[in-house]
Structure formats: C-alpha cells, structure tokens
Amino acid sequence: MAEASGTTASESGSQAAQEATVRGEHVTATESSRPDPHRPSAGGSSPGASDSRGGAGAVQSQPRQPTVLHPFPHIEVRLDDRAVLFDGVACLDAGWLEFIVCTPGTKEHESLIVTRARPSHIHAALLLIGLKPGSPGRWVYENDRVSTVPPTGDEVIVEVIYTNEQGQMVTEPIRRWIRDHLGENEFPDRPWTFGGSRMRQAPPDFGVAEIYEADYSGSVIGLVTFGDEMLCFPEVLPDQVDIQPPEWEVNSKHVPRPGTAVTVVLRPAGE
C-alpha cells in the first residue's frame, strides 16, 4: 500500500467542501424528501407566534425552514441539524464483518451496506457540518514487533433508517446490526472516528497524480483496520486471524434483507 504524499486528505476535502458550498447555494431546499427521525412533526403554532386574524398590525409568523444541501450525488447535508445523510443498500445477512459501508465492487462480501456515494464526497460533507478529520488507525512493524496506533479525528454517531418488513420506518444505531460470533456480547456503544482516509499516488492509468485512497479501495466505514478508512472503529482491529481471531459478525436476526434501501445518518457525537 503506497504511503500518502503531497496534499493531505483534509486539504483535499476542504477544497471539495468549499466547492460544495458554492454549488449548495443553488440547490438549497426548504424541505427534504428523506425521512428525518430528529425533526418534530409539522403542525401547531409555536409559542408566541402571531395570528394573521388578530386584527390590524398582526404579523403571520413563518417557521424557519432548515437549510438542506445536496452538494454531491446520493448525499444530503442538513446544516441546521449538523447531519450528513447518504443512500445505501443492505448487502449482507450473514457472515464475518470487516466493513460497515463500502462502495460497489469492493467489499460487499464482508460489509453491511453498499453505497454509490463517493467516500471523498462524504468526507467533504462532514467538513460542511464542522467536523474535523484526523488519520486512520494503523499497524507499525518495527524490530520484529507489532504495535498499533489508534485513529484520530472527531467522533461521529452512525445511524441507519430503513423500512422493515412490516412497513414501519426504523431508525437505529448501526451497532444493532452487529453481534459477536458467540452471541454473548453486544457491539460496543461507542462513536466512530473521522479518520479521513488519506491521499496516495494514483495508478499510472488514472491520469492524475493523487487519489483519495478510500475512493479507490471502497473503505467508507471500516470495522477492521486497513489504514485507508474514511470513518474508523476507534480501536485498531486486525484483519488477520493469526494476530487475533475474528469476533464480529452480522446480526442475522435483526438486519433487513439484502436489497433493502437504507439511509445512513452521520452526526457529531454528543449532540
């Protein structure tokens, strides 16, 4: 795996975010077509609102609409809610897990969700809501010893929205889709880390000097540590059984069937 060189992923994402902001001025919507589990239902008057029937001088209060941007394909940014939403499809109902979300043609055999949203675009969208990336976790081999460096970056909550087989809309943390292989332990209730992937030298036939590595590898949200994840599990987990036996697998009794449309929601931890 090539080492990062030149422009950092954070700098690249910042430029993309600035471009997205410019485009977003033209695509801002007053309402979103996506489901929103955090927004109160419409209807009713807010306290202190004036009634247009109250006589001369009365002013009809207009509710303030949230600012919603669609800066990239398959991605929605809700600035007021500080949330990033992107489209996905459930793609696995059994087996070991190494990823939570990947892009098509990459890790679908070991990932819960596949998305057509580009990892670098999701990175830029997270910048738009004020989150700061750090770096993915990594393995360090030195003097015949292996040590780990955990990922750094802002903490992110990952939730999913989908319609179950009973026709009900479900909003829940992604950890509900994961279980340990013995069925004894729940997946940790911890936020994920905005590692931000990294920039690497592009293959010769790409026509550019550098690429955002997660765009190439498909590592949108990683569970085990490869060092190129856009969002990372906060601990370094190996992908080799000779270092540590695999532990986490699909919660087959809970996940929706493969092919189910999913909206992935990312928001700052603690909000």
Q: What's the pLDDT tens digit per position in 211-238?
A: 999 999 999 999 999 999 999 999 988 7
Work out the pLDDT band at 207, boundaries 50, 70, 90. Answer: confident
More confident of the two residues 72 and 23: 72
Do residues 118 and 126 make contact, with C-beta atoms less than 8 angstroms apart? no
Residue 14 has pLDDT above 90, yes or no: no
d(CA 104, CA 153): 26
Mutual orientation of helices 119-128 and 9-27 as an angle, nearest 10°? 70
State pLDDT tens for residues 110-133.
999 999 999 999 999 999 999 999
- The pTM of the full predicted model, rounded to 2 decimals, is 0.77
Straight-line distance from the first to the last Cα atom of the chain, in angstroms, rounded to the nearest whole number = 36
Residue 203 has pLDDT above 70, yes or no: yes
Work out the pLDDT band at 146, boundaries 50, 70, 90. Answer: confident
Residue-level length of the chain: 271
Beta strands in the chain (DSSP E): 68-69, 75-78, 83-90, 99-102, 111-114, 133-135, 138-142, 145-149, 152-153, 155-163, 169-173, 178-180, 192-193, 199-201, 210-212, 219-222, 231-232, 248-250, 261-268
Proportion of the chain above pLDDT 90, given as a percent: 61
